[in-house]
Amino acid sequence: MLRSAVADIRPALSWQFFLLVAAVLILPSAYTTAISSDYALFGEADVFTLIMSSGIALVFPLLAVSIYALPFSNELSQRYIFYTRTRSDIGRYIANKLLANAAMAAVFFFFVAFIPFLWAFFVDPALGLIGPYRSTVVGLSPSEMGDYATTLHTFSQLLSAGPWAYGIGYSLWLALNGALYATIGLLLLFVVPNRFVALSLPFLGYHILNFATAVAGIPQYSPASVFPFNVVQFPIWVPFMPFGILLALTGLLAIYVWQNTRRLDVLL
């Protein structure tokens, strides 16, 4: 199955894909560096926060489904599966597609966070493009300034174990969520007849629930807690609550698709 999934990844590696990767990995860090003088920054963690607070959070679900699910939707619209299912098991075919989709999204979003982390914590300090950083924060004593970075937002607690724990830890978190949203988009392609509606539903649900949790006064349980940079710090386990609920719903959707592979119109 792993070999088949790798083979399924290759068709998605088009020049458009690499252009998207280059833009998402390079532009946020470059743009943040250019506008950094307009902000009061107190260290590398602030730079990383500013980079990750850019437009990536707004289009996160769209990016997730654009990596693999969007190109794959062309196969469905061209009835490619009709000819495939006569040569291979349809269940294995779907599993390979899901695995390839999740793997590509996970790797992509890992570097969406990890490249800005490297830039903010290592590359820029070596080049000196941003700075000098401010050394005091209103209301904090000099001794409290030492812990300032660890109190910025959820996941910054990991800075107490060192920058690598924070960079890798948050990058893995974003990778998990990217793979989850990509999986939801791909599964919806099998259930919703209109592929544009199917690929839009993760984006719409993401923002509707984000708005609803904000109105309810529980923004920490928003799906947008994937990017926890604009709310106060919460324990690290808190973002795993909406993630767990979404993961359970995705599992139910996957079971439905699996049990109805011979009845879903798009697979016939």
Confidence category of residue 11, pLDDT binned at 50, 70, 90 = low
pLDDT above 60 for 85: no
Q: How confident is the model at residue 5, as a pLDDT?
A: 45
Q: How confident is the model at residue 18, as a pLDDT?
A: 72
Confidence category of residue 77, pLDDT binned at 50, 70, 90 = low
pLDDT above 60 for 3: no
The sign of the dihedral angle between the CA atoms of 82, 88, 94, 99 is: negative
Q: How confident is the model at residue 111, as a pLDDT?
A: 92
pLDDT above 60 for 102: yes
| pLDDT one-digit tens code per residue, 158-212 | 999 999 999 999 999 999 999 999 999 999 988 888 888 989 999 999 999 999 9
How would you label 109-130 residue by residue, b for 16+ Cβ within 10 Å and e otherwise? bbbbbbbbbbbbbeebbeeeeb
Give me the residue spans of the domains in the chain.
Answer: 2-136+154-267
Query: Are 264 and 257 in contact, with CB atoms under 8 Å apart?
Result: yes
Q: Is 131 left (phi over 0), alpha (psi -120 to 50) or beta?
A: left
pTM above threshold 0.95 = no
What is the rounded distance in angstroms from the CA atom of residue 96 to the CA atom of residue 84?
13
Average pLDDT of the segment spanning 113-118? 93
Q: What is the mean pLDDT of the chain?
A: 82
Q: How confident is the model at residue 179, as a pLDDT?
A: 96
Average pLDDT of the segment spanning 223-232? 87
What is the rounded distance in angstroms from the CA atom of residue 248 to the CA atom of residue 187?
14
Closest CA to 170 of 254, 251, 255, 109: 109
Which two structure tokens, joined as six digits, stand for 159?
A: 């800075």
| pLDDT one-digit tens code per residue, 124-144 | 888 888 866 766 565 555 555
3 state DSSP class of 86:
coil
